[in-house]
């Protein structure tokens, strides 16, 4: 079944081709459970792991998506964190473009974890795998997202804008200190 055309290369995109392997099916099923804002934010984040000269295979993309979803069950926090991470990494990459440095893909979620830790107070929700006061998540490997809280796209965008504004204010305050 033809889904549409790729906005980049204008090739036909077929749904049946996207789900030829098991990882592709699981990736699509996981994304289908997310609201459109969160799905878009997490996909852009996962794209930061793509090697410069090749595509990210479905198995690796599924693993990265699952790991990102395991960091916090708060999808608003995750969306804001992924957006901030993508924006910051793209900014760093574009500023280093003229210097001749090669762009290296991300290799782990540490940067996102730091961003989520900075944002978590605004969302009042712990980030799995990160210290939270005296508490520490010790069994991150068994973390699972059990519930997806759904919001309308308008409501999600409004909350995202509020959180990004708070993040910018706290970032400026940290830089001036």
- Residue 153 CA: distances (Å) to CA of 13, 90, 148: 25, 24, 14
> Does 18 map to a domain?
no
Using 50, 70 and 90 to split pLDDT, how confident is the model at 8? confident
Residue 100, judged by CB atoms within 10 A of its CB (0-12, 13-18, 19+), counts as exposed
Total structural domains within the chain: 1
Domain of 84 in residue numbering reads as 37-176
Identify the residue with better confidence: 55 or 46.
46
- The span from the CA of 157 to the CA of 63, in Å, is 26
Identify the residue with better confidence: 161 or 29.
29
Which pLDDT value is given to residue 144?
A: 43
Q: What percent of the chain clears pLDDT 70, i.e. is strictly above it? A: 76
- The span from the CA of 115 to the CA of 122, in Å, is 12
Does the predicted TM-score (pTM) go above 0.85?
A: no
> Does 14 map to a domain?
no
> Does 152 map to a domain?
yes
Which pLDDT value is given to residue 150?
A: 57
Using 50, 70 and 90 to split pLDDT, how confident is the model at 141? very low
> Does 100 map to a domain?
yes
> Does 25 map to a domain?
no
Whether 67 has a pLDDT exceeding 80, the answer reads: yes
Closest CA to 13 of 24, 4, 21: 4
Q: How far apart are the first and last CA of the chain?
A: 56
> Does 27 map to a domain?
no
Using 50, 70 and 90 to split pLDDT, how confident is the model at 134? very low
- The span from the CA of 65 to the CA of 87, in Å, is 18
């Amino acid at each position: 079944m033809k889904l549409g055309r790729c906005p980049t290369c204008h090739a036909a995109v077929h749904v049946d081709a996207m789900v030829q392997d098991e990882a592709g099916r699981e990736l699509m099923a996981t994304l289908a459970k997310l609201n459109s804002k969160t799905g878009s934010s997490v996909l852009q984040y996962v794209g930061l792991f793509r090697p410069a000269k090749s595509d990210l295979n479905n198995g690796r993309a599924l693993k990265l998506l699952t790991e990102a979803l395991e960091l916090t069950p708060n999808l608003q926090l995750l969306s804001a964190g992924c957006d901030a991470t993508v924006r910051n990494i793209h900014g760093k990459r574009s500023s280093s473009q003229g210097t001749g440095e090669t762009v290296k893909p991300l290799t782990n979620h540490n940067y996102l974890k730091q961003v989520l830790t900075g944002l978590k107070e605004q969302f009042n929700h712990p980030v799995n795998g990160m210290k939270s006061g005296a508490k520490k998540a010790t069994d991150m490997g068994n973390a699972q997202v059990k519930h997806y809280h759904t919001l309308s796209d308008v409501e999600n965008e409004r909350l995202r804008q509020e959180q990004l504004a708070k993040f910018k204010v706290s970032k400026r305050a940290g830089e001036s200190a």
